[in-house]
Structure 1
Amino acid sequence: MRKFLYGIIFCIALFPTTAFADEHEVYIALGDSLAAGQTPYSQIDAGYTDFIALQLMRHGKLAHFSKELTFPGYRVENVIESAKSEKATQLLKEATLITVSAGANNLLPLIAHNPHKGTLAFTQLNANFALNEVRTNIQELLSLIDYKAPKAKIYVMGYYFPYVSVHREQQLGAANVLQMLNAILKQETEQAGHVFVDVYEAFDDKRADYLTNVQDVHPNQVGYRIMANEMLKHYSGNDSLALAREAMPAPRPKTFEEMLELAGQNEAAKNEYNVTAFHITNKPKPIYV
């Protein structure tokens, strides 16, 4: 059910039709709420994966796109379980392009953030344990994707520093931990023969413009545009596929309640995904990803 909801939002947000006659990439997104497109206000809209798909479509390079294997709150081990599912087997078998966002949810819940006082607190020992967990699990995830998606080019997304209301002296320790997470993702990705997409510096230039809710770590659509363009730069080798700010589609955010209502209007989807079993009380809290 939750996967079906994101398919609805993508189609509503960006595509008037699902027919792409001349395109060729089968793009499958995996990962957490950044891959799903969660907004700073606990809604779902077009995110970086949608923008990547949109630009590929506009340039005649897209045959199919799905973010059915994404969901807010996913840790690396959750992405592994998602990739092992029967649905994933069908999607990944034909995939030619995959993006992955995973790792932040293993780490960020350990960082206590007080946006009103501008403070961050965490225990380095716990952070080190989480980082080692990410290293082991990302190896397993990439090996699994290699096996299930033998035709795919794989891009693993890095993370930005998600706190804008923190005193300068409070930033250093948490920033170092986030950079360690990125370093682990980069090392394991490149050792597996895939591409790591670093968004840290590109995002940091105007971080306050992208993170508009100081109590939440998700970017707005302008921030997602930055992430998409960094990936597209790696994909094409230049800026030819970059999404210009003036070419962005109008925001069309949907709450989880609205998404549930939309899904409820589709009886076939209701039968397939058991809509009645999905409770809004399970709505993820806006903690990264």
Structure 2
Amino acid sequence: MSNLKKFWTAMLAIAFLISGSMTVQAEVRIPAVYIALGDSLAAGQTPNSQIDAGYSDMIAQELARHQPVAFYTKNLAFPGFTTEDVLKRIQSLEAKEVLASANIITLSAGANDLLPLIQSNPAEGSLAFQQIQVDFALNKARINLEAIIAELKKTAPQADLYVMGYYFAYPHVRDTQKQGTGKQLDQLNAILKQTSEKAGAQFVSVDQSFGKNAIDKIPNPADVHPNIKGYQAMANAFLEQYQNGWEVEDKELPAAAPKTFEEMLQILEQGGEERSATIDGVTSVRPSEKMEIEYLALREVVPYA
């Protein structure tokens, strides 16, 4: 082979490797129009039954550090939402209007289909559930998730959809109690992964960041919600897939500013100026489980310097 042929063969090989590596991650969306959907994790519920900065807020914050962000909201996420609740929510006319311009969507849905069936006794460190009920709930979650993704594909055709996985939420129970419930979590994550990937969405695994003993991230034995370190781990799991090298560092964690559901309800009823908070110039609406279903935040363009 001549030197010229060797040169072009090498160039083609390099080009192939580069193009192959570039397809691993999704395209960076500029400007970002980010909408967080789902349950209390998407809303940012704390281990003390309050609402504060969660993984979606940290994602929006990190996006704003690197690229223009036109809009961000987690107003469509509510504590307690099941997959059926999320489906109904995104089918509303108000939600469709907001979602139509989205180009990044994260979704947390499925845990509330399962968690009510798990009986936890923090004092004894025990867990109990009926397998038949769990199997039925998991199948229903799968069916609803298929419908949610199909609806989002129609409503937000330009959006990259990221389906967030779940972590093991009972690190405080006895080790002997963890295996059975852990298997149900594995099944839920498998359903989320298979269903999302089959429909062209991306699954974000977070369970490895927590493990079975993440007391440092889930500090309250009587509550399944993570603290800010847990939400940081979830945000970084997303960012690793969105753009390798982007990361929410410890020094970048937002200052705590929790609000009770009652406080948030009062703010909404008063139409106060505290309706939204700002994190590095990104509008972040903090929802409450007591908000009326048709409430949506005022949309506004977020200036980017």
TM-score of the superposed pair, with normalisation by structure 1: 0.83
Whole-Å separation in 2 of the counterparts to 1:268 and 1:168: 47
How many Å separate the matches in 2 of 1:150 and 1:72?
26
- The whole-number CA distance in structure 1 between the counterparts of 2:262 and 2:136 is 36
Q: 2:49 maps to which residue?
A: 42
Aligned pairs for 1:102-117 (under 5 A) are 102-117=109-124
Residue 151 of structure 1 deviates from its aligned partner by 0.3
Q: Does 1:202 align with 2:177?
A: no
Deviations 1:173-230 (A, max 9, x none): 0000011000000000000011000000112276110101110000011110100000
Which secondary structure state, in structure 2, belongs to the residue aligned with residue 130 of structure 1?
A: helix
Listed one character per residue, the Cα deviations across residues 87-136 of structure 1 (whole Å, up to 9, x for unaligned) are 11111110000000000000010000001101000011111001111111
Q: Distance in 2 between matches of 1:183 and 1:53?
A: 27
Deviation per residue, 1:227-274 (Å, 9 max, x gap): 0000011111x1x2200011111111111122123223326999xxxx
Q: 1:225 aligns with which of 228, 232, 249?
A: 232
| Equivalent residue for 1:265, pick from 259, 263, 270 | 270
Asked if residue 247 in structure 1 is aligned to residue 252 in structure 2, the reply is yes
What is the CA RMSD across the aligned residues, in angstroms? 2.2
Q: Which one has a larger percent helix, Structure 1 or Structure 2?
A: 1
Tell whether 2:91 aligns with 1:84: yes
Runs of 4 or more off by more than 3 Å in structure 1? 267-270, 278-282
**Residue 57 of structure 1 aligns with which residue?**
64
Q: What amino acid maps onto 1:68 in structure 2?
A: N
Quick check: 1:186–1:196 contact (8 Å CA) kept in 2? yes
CA distance in 2, matches of 1:77, 1:244: 35
Quote the residue 1:27 is aligned against.
Answer: 34
Residues 33 and 94 (structure 1), Cα distance of their counterparts in 2 relative to 1, 3 Å cut:
same
How many Å separate the matches in 2 of 1:132 and 1:152? 26
Pick from 185, 191, 200 the counterpart of residue 192 of structure 2: 185
2:168–2:185 contact (8 Å) kept in structure 1: yes
How far apart are the structure 2 equivalents of 1:147 and 1:73? 25
SS at match of 2:76: strand
Q: Is 2:135 the partner of 1:128?
A: yes
**Cα–Cα, structure 1 residues 93 and 109, in superposed 2: closer, same or farther, change >3 Å?**
same
2:172–2:213 contact (8 Å) kept in structure 1? no
Higher-Rg member (1/2): 2
Q: Name the CA distance, whole Å, in 1 between partners of 2:272 and 2:207.
A: 43
Q: Distance in 1 between matches of 2:145 and 2:211?
A: 25
Aligned to 2:107: 100
Q: Does the aligned pair in 2 maintain the 1:116–1:165 contact within 8 Å?
A: no
Residue 279 of structure 1 and its aligned partner are, at CA, apart by 10
Q: What percentage of aligned pairs have identical amino acids? A: 48
Secondary structure of the corresponding residue to residue 102 of structure 2: coil
State the SS of the aligned residue for 1:208.
Answer: coil
- Give the gaps of 5 or more residues in structure 1: 1-22, 271-277, 283-289
State the number of aligned residues.
252
In structure 1, how many angstroms separate the alpha carbons of the residues matched to 2:160 and 2:130?
Answer: 37
List per-residue Cα deviations over 1:11-48 (Å, max 9, x = no partner): xxxxxxxxxxxx60100111000000000001000000
Describe the shift of the 1:279–1:147 C-alpha distance in structure 2 as closer, same or farther (beyond 3 A).
closer
Question: What is the TM-score normalised by the length of structure 2?
Answer: 0.79
Could you tell me whether the CA contact under 8 Å between 2:78 and 2:289 is conserved in 1?
Answer: no
CA contact (8 A) 1:155 1:194 kept: yes
Q: Does 1:143 align with 2:150?
A: yes
CA distance in structure 2 between the aligned counterparts of 1:259 and 1:37, rounded to whole angstroms: 13
Output the CA distance in 1 between the equivalents of 2:50 and 2:201.
31
Preserved CA contact (<8 Å) 2:205 2:237:
yes
Which sections of structure 2, spanning at least 5 residues, go unmatched?
Answer: 1-29, 276-287, 293-305
Q: Structure 1 CA distance, aligned partners of 2:174 and 2:247?
A: 33
Instruction: Say if 1:35 and 1:47, in contact at 8 Å, map to a contact too.
Output: yes
In the other structure, the counterpart of 2:74 is 67
